[in-house]
Structure 1
Amino acid sequence: MTDWTIWQALEDWRSRRRELEPVFAQAGIAPELESQVNRILVDLRRQPPTPPLVSGDKQRDEDERARFHAAFMRHYDESLFKAEALVRLPWVPEAAPIGNAVLAEVERLRTALSNNPGQTPDFGDFEALLGHYLRLDHPQLTVAPELLAERRRQIADIAGWPLLVQRSAAQPFNEVVPPIGTEAFREAFYAQLDLYLAAPWLHCKIVSQWYATLALDAVLVRKKREAGDDSFVASTFKHRWPSLSVLFPQLEMADQLWYLALILAAIVALFSEHWLVALPLVLWLNLSVGAHRRQRRRIEQRREELVAQAQMLKKVRDRFAAGMSTPDKLAHQLRQLDPGGETFGEPFYALLRLQSRNG
């Protein structure tokens, strides 16, 4: 469901900066077009230059007449040039045929001004075409209101999703988005990223930057959490001393319960003088103590490596977010930090390639 506070945040961003203007324009939102059309219509109604008075000097009158015709042409050509620039600005793609009709009308008016110097042509059709182009209500134009409404919904739901995540992260009790860094968030992120990549009309540098930075933030949060989790760090070892926690990692305090049972069994065996049972149990317990001490040292060493990787990723992330690193360079750095490609999925690298093209 569309969150219209996110829509308002996107509107504020569009009004302050220009990156989102092409996206909003394709959804039929471009206030600057209306302003330009109004200026063009006002300029067309301005009083054109008046013909010079006849002085009786033939050469002088011809020169003055030529200057008058040039000024008369310039007077209207400025508005026609603005109209040409107008239809080349981003707008609803389905309005392109009306834009072509505006360009054809501009050429017709220029021809009329050239063939009839000093005579004001009829601008009625031209003004009507500009109005139809702006309002999307030309009889030959079929732009369903539902189409524009759907595009506006996608702007809020897809382009604005990174902003929704930022707002959710700032509100501890907001459960609209899964906590960043969790597996549920990773699944939600890549689902949204697939939607973004599948909507070419939404593609722009700033939205791609939001998604890429959000992916880096999520991985950074997860790595920091993993570095502080002893069970996760231990699970990264290929060879571990056999214990109950290795077989049942979800069982809480598995090792404590297992070794407590072994100690009780060893005590019972010693007091009952079952030496063939007691000696192996005591030996196993001593070996386990040494193994767990070694594993503790390995965990601390591995934790330092994970913290160093997180710190390196933080530097890479900050340089990219600050615009000091290109998407291509970021992809190269991340492939070095994650040679197996397990941390970032292929859609993420497709996003970086897209951002590189948009940039």
Structure 2
Amino acid sequence: MAEWSIWRALEEWRSKKHELNPVFARAGIFSDFETQINRIALDLRRAPPTPPLFSGDEHRDREELGRFRDGFYRHYDETLYKVETLLSHAWVPEAEPIAGEVRMELLQLRGQLRSAAGKVPDFSRLEQLLWHYARLDHPQHPIPSELLAERRRMLIDIAGYPLTVQHAVSEPYNDTVPPLASDDFRQQYAEHLQAYLDTPWLHCQIVTNWFVTLALDAALASKKRDVADEMRLAAMLPNRWPSLSRWASFEHADQVWYLLIACVAIGALFVEWWWLAIPGMVWLALSKGAHRRERKQIELKREQIASRAMLIKKVRDRFKTGHTSLEKLAYQLKQLDERGEYFDDNVYAALKLHHHDA
């Protein structure tokens, strides 16, 4: 999957899930900044309330003048409050010094509005600071472009990894990602999940859900592989009858093993080597019974794994549709994977990232 495709997929998710906005913002991407600053600038240029006309009644004129001063202050304070709200949004952490200057300017402007009621302050410096804050180009607080480029690369490579896998799995001839049931994929997934856990600014429940869902998909793929792999099923059985397939992995190993024993036993009968023929025939008879028993055990094991695969699929589907919380999923995963075969400590660590958000 090309980078532009990953980025497009991330943008589509961001347009649907606003929880991703803080993650993009820390990489210097916040498309609504310029619109909000333009609205703030427009509000600051609105005509303020006009002073009242004096009636000659000192008490009444004093009340009207007080109302005018309060209205004049509120007229601009509402816009200044919008600036504070803008600063409260997630943004590049290195832009905090610029935000500090904006807050100092807000204090000065409010002081001017209180001390010189009716006189419109100069908002040009505030607007200039806001544009520096949005464009990250303050001359006294430079932010290296390489820093933002590196964060956007991490956003693609780490947070976008589950989307990359999802895209690769959906295309039958896409081999950019190893099969989900392979050891190579498990190692690749573990590396990306560890990188995600080590990057706090990427932490978002949406991305965490992607990684956890991918772990469930990999576990389900492994179960499906086990169901279809006869040799893996046989290797899972305890106390197997000795046969060549226990040590050799080539196809039809057991058939070759029994054919060899049969040939030796028949040959021993012809030459009347009873000490070899009788044990060989007894071994073949016992092997036949053991083989039938193993076949029953293999089919039983297949049914057990298939049942567990259906359960994993059900858990995955309920979690993907939002019907299962992270805490409940952690409990279910421990029940599904008691031996820790599919879900390691990092998966459970990811599930604990957002317990306070539940």
- Answer whether contact 1:23 1:201 (CA < 8 A) is retained: yes
Alignment-derived partner of residue 60 in structure 2: 60
| 1-structure distance, mates of 2:357, 2:155 | 18
Aligned length: 358
CA deviation profile, 1:78-125 (whole Å, cap 9, x unmatched): 110001111110000000111111111111111110111111112122
Q: Does 1:254 align with 2:253?
A: yes
> Which residues of 2 match residues 1-359 of structure 1 at below 5 A?
3-248=3-248, 250-359=249-358
**Structure 2: which 5+ residue stretches go unaligned?**
none
Q: Residue 29 of structure 1: SS of its match in structure 2?
A: coil
- After TM superposition, give the deviation of residue 262 of structure 1 in Å: 1.4
Give the counterpart letter for 1:257 in structure 2: V
The letter of the residue matching 1:278 is A
Q: Deviation above 6 Å: which 4+ runs of structure 1?
A: none
TM-score (norm 2): 0.96
Query: Could you tell me how far 1:2 is from its partner in structure 2?
Result: 6.6
The Cα offsets for residues 286-306 of structure 1, whole Å up to 9 and x where unpaired, read as 110000000111111111111
Say whether the 8 Å CA contact 1:227–1:303 is kept in structure 2. Answer: yes
- Pick closer, same or farther for the CA change 1:355–1:182 going to 2, 3 Å: farther
Determine if contact 1:331/1:349 at 8 Å carries over to the other structure.
Answer: yes
* Structure 1 position 179, deviation (Å): 1.5
- Fraction of identical pairs, as percent: 52
CA-based RMSD: 1.5
Secondary structure of 2:99's partner?
Answer: helix
Shift of 1:220: 0.7
Post-superposition shift, 1:335? Answer: 1.2
Q: For 2:11 and 2:149, how far apart are their aligned partners in 1?
A: 15
- 1:178-227 Cα distance to aligned partner (Å, 9 max, x none): 12222111111111111111111111000000000000011011112102
Q: Which string of whole-angstrom CA distances, capped at 9 and with x for unpartnered residues, describes residues 311-356 of structure 1?
A: 2222222222122222121111111222222321111111111132
* Kept in 2: contact 1:269–1:277 (CA 8 A): yes
Q: How far, CA to CA, are the matches of 1:233 and 1:356 in structure 2?
A: 38
C-alpha deviation, 1:358, in angstroms: 4.9
Quick check: 185-194 or 264-273, which moved more?
264-273
CA distance in structure 1 between the partners assigned to 2:301 and 2:263 by the alignment = 33
Provide structure 1 residue ranges, at least 5 long, that are not aligned to the other structure. Answer: none
Q: Secondary structure in 1 aligned to 2:18? A: coil
Aligned mates of 2:198, 2:219 — CA distance in 1: 23
CA distance in 1: counterparts of 2:152 and 2:357, whole angstroms: 21
Q: Could you tell me how far 1:276 is from its partner in structure 2?
A: 2.1
